[in-house]
Structure 1
Amino acid sequence: MGTLVDGTRRFAVDLHALRSGLGIGEFAPSGQVASGLPDLLRAREHGYRRIDAHTLLHLLNFEVMQPYSLDLSRPDLVCIQAIVAGSYTRWIGARMDLVPPQVLQISNVAASTSDTQAGRRLRGLLIVCEREHLLSHYRLDLASVPQAYRPIFLSREGSPEVLQLPLSATGIGLVDQMLACKYPEPLRGIFLGVKTVEFICDMVAQLHRPQRPAAPRALSGHAKRRAVEAAAEIYRREIADPPSIEQLALRVGLNRNELTAGFRQAHGLTPHAYAHMHRMERARELLGEGTLSISEVARRVGYEGYSSFARAYHGHFGHPPAQRGPAEAQPGE
């Protein structure tokens, strides 16, 4: 149940022991790892998954109902933290750092403590990877890493310094795909394993590009543009069931006004108009292929019936939907 310190529950997790105790692909709910912690959270799933012999994944998609502290034992492990929305504080010895949204943080210390306040909603992930595996398997070129941060990857003791990079649009999209995964096991485990590797690859590629580490500050214009780019990709990917503006804003770490302003600046359209445009364009492509009925095309782009789709299509293009090849007759024929 954790210990009670000054009114705050305190829990402890040994990441080395956790990784050793799990088989590849296995998932440990946080209740097994830190008894009582799930009682402080509102979450569909909260725990740790072993991706391979060297890597753990912890997805964050929850609301904190009561404040808590989490002590992590993590020697010789590189922790990759990506928060899309929300924030918390992390202590490394006597040093306190903010773990902010839209920033990728990479660290390697023997132990750390995370403090999370009640009312916080967190969306993101933590990937824990053996240091030597990260170097050998992903071929990280340390010459591209700023000198001050190389001990993170070179030393078993690590470094109190935390390498911070902007969270890329690809990274935001990968976090969202993992959090949105609805596959049952074992497909869920396979999907999350692939996406975890993809996320690490994107991080290494980003490290290999010359850039300055990101400073912990309020969202910059660049960060907001990356979030808008990720939101646009979500609309394109989920064309058959697009999220609401409120849902989309939460998923990319912006508020509704920031998201709307960002879409107007980047695309000259509101988020709703952008999603509608892509649904109509995709419908025209499918109709042009001539292999699906109009009713099936309507379903593919998120319309429950022919009539509502036909009205939307006519309103967008100025003419009713029509096939260009053989397919079943329209309703009523």
Structure 2
Amino acid sequence: MHKLLTLDLREVQRELLRKNFVRSSEALGPTETIFRTKEHGYRRIDDSILLHVLNFEAGRPYSLDMARRGLVCIQIIIKGTYSRWLNNRADLVNSASIQISNMPRATSETEAGMTLRGVLIACERQYMLDHLGLNVDCVPAAYRPIFLSETGMAETLKLPTSPSAISIADQLISCELAEPLKTLYIKAKTIELICEIVSRINMLSAHRPCRVQSTDGKSQAIEAAAAIYRREMFRPPTIEQLAFRVGLNRNDLTDGFREIFGTTPHSYGMMIRMEQAQNLLRNGGLSISEVARRVGYEGYSSFSRAYQAHYGYGPSLSSEPEL
């Protein structure tokens, strides 16, 4: 039997005027058996925007009845699925698309054991129009009530996912900074994600029906994984961690890297680190030990062996000035 939870995002938003984070247990009551995770709650981005990060396993089946009047909700899922009802219209929320809706009430159901990774951004509808530059004239007429009407519409505006959107969502989910840097980082990344989505909405054709075109979700996940390697070369994730973060299994991740980059994830990550190391060495100004540290090696010896194996010569030759 599903555990019934009720949530009013407007009440959460009012509470966020006093503090930066509201735990789910404060808004929903005891949730320890429902959301298996270190942190589950709602974060203030500014007076008009809040963020909810999904990064948990459902410990038991639950239904969430959410009141969200006047808010445009943007949902990006990297891993997992759940069912959602908007005015008795059922929809499946998964990684196939970015979903944008504004019905005053939504009900979702999640099954026990489901792992969900993603983000929900709730933004005041009028704020999107007045301060974020959303151009409603670019939105197909059938979907304009999402941005123009308080009562909303049961239909959801769906945009294709993109490697950059997946990458930013992953950065929000994976942020391990301590405060106050964590709050500043999450606010900046949330605004970056909103800017990308508003920009994409503004490029829609108002004269064409808006349908999510068929996209290769696996290829986009692989591109996002490659971006993680480039961004985190100083502390690269394991293949298992990388696969989890982009919503693939290990075999799909490995096969995808071979198809797109012609190599394994490990070899791709090594190539990125060695190319960065070579650039740093050629630019001069840093010792070999410092270059090693910047690309994720704890000591000179292990870095030197890896560099020799990759290029066929040691890092000292790369650091010598050209004659």
2:319 maps to which residue?
Answer: 324
Check the 8 A contact 2:86/2:105 in 1, yes or no.
yes
Deviations 1:112-147 (A, max 9, x none): 111110111111000001000011111111222122
Check the 8 A contact 1:144/1:210 in 2, yes or no.
yes
Q: Partners of 1:221 and 1:127 in 2: how far apart?
A: 23
Large movers: runs of 4+ above 6 Å: none
* Counterparts of residues 18-29 of structure 1 (less than 5 Å): 18-23=12-17, 26-29=20-23
Q: Is 1:163 aligned to 2:157, yes or no?
A: yes
2:211 maps to which residue?
Answer: 213
Q: Is 1:81 aligned to 2:69, yes or no?
A: no
Q: Does the C-alpha gap of structure 1 residues 109 and 210 become closer, same or farther in structure 2, counting only changes over 3 Å?
A: closer
Q: 1:30 aligns with which of 19, 24, 27?
A: 24
Name stretches of at least 5 consecutive residues in structure 2 with no aligned partner. none
Q: Partners of 1:272 and 1:221 in 2: how far apart?
A: 26
Q: Which amino acid aligns with 2:130?
A: S
* Counterparts of residues 300-311 of structure 1 (less than 5 Å): 300-311=294-305
**More deviation in 108-117 or 177-186?**
177-186
Q: Partners of 1:265 and 1:221 in 2: how far apart?
A: 16
Check the 8 A contact 2:49/2:122 in 1, yes or no.
yes
1:330 maps to which residue?
Answer: none
* Counterparts of residues 101-250 of structure 1 (less than 5 Å): 101-210=95-204, 212-214=210-212, 222-250=216-244
Check the 8 A contact 2:140/2:204 in 1, yes or no.
no
Measure how far apart 1:37 and its partner are: 2.0
Q: Partners of 1:292 and 1:25 in 2: how far apart?
A: 43
**More deviation in 201-210 or 76-85?**
201-210
Q: Which amino acid aligns with 1:147?
A: A
* Counterparts of residues 58-97 of structure 1 (less than 5 Å): 58-97=52-91
Check the 8 A contact 2:63/2:108 in 1, yes or no.
yes
Q: Partners of 1:232 and 1:96 in 2: how far apart?
A: 34
Measure how far apart 1:102 and its partner are: 4.0
Name stretches of at least 5 consecutive residues in structure 1 with no aligned partner. 1-6, 327-333
Q: Partners of 2:47 and 2:141 in 1: how far apart?
A: 29
Check the 8 A contact 2:218/2:256 in 1, yes or no.
yes
Q: Partners of 2:215 and 2:166 in 1: how far apart?
A: 16
Q: Tell me, what secondary structure is at the counterpart of 2:69?
A: coil
Q: Which amino acid aligns with 1:308?
A: S
Measure how far apart 1:325 and its partner are: 5.8
Q: Which amino acid aligns with 1:282?
A: Q
Structure 1 vs Structure 2 CA RMSD: 1.6
Check the 8 A contact 2:87/2:103 in 1, yes or no.
no
**More deviation in 177-186 or 113-122?**
177-186
Measure how far apart 1:210 and its partner are: 3.7
Q: Partners of 2:19 and 2:225 in 1: how far apart?
A: 29
**More deviation in 87-96 or 236-245?**
87-96
TM-score, with structure 1 as normaliser = 0.91
Q: Partners of 1:141 and 1:213 in 2: how far apart?
A: 18
Check the 8 A contact 2:83/2:110 in 1, yes or no.
yes
**More deviation in 298-307 or 156-165?**
298-307
Measure how far apart 1:253 and its partner are: 1.4
Measure how far apart 1:89 and its partner are: 0.6
Measure how far apart 1:249 and its partner are: 1.1
Q: Is 1:291 aligned to 2:285, yes or no?
A: yes
Q: Partners of 2:58 and 2:200 in 1: how far apart?
A: 31
Q: Which amino acid aligns with 2:306?
A: A
Q: Which amino acid aligns with 1:213?
A: R
Q: Which amino acid aligns with 1:205?
A: S
Identity %: 50
Measure how far apart 1:240 and its partner are: 0.8
**More deviation in 108-117 or 220-229?**
220-229
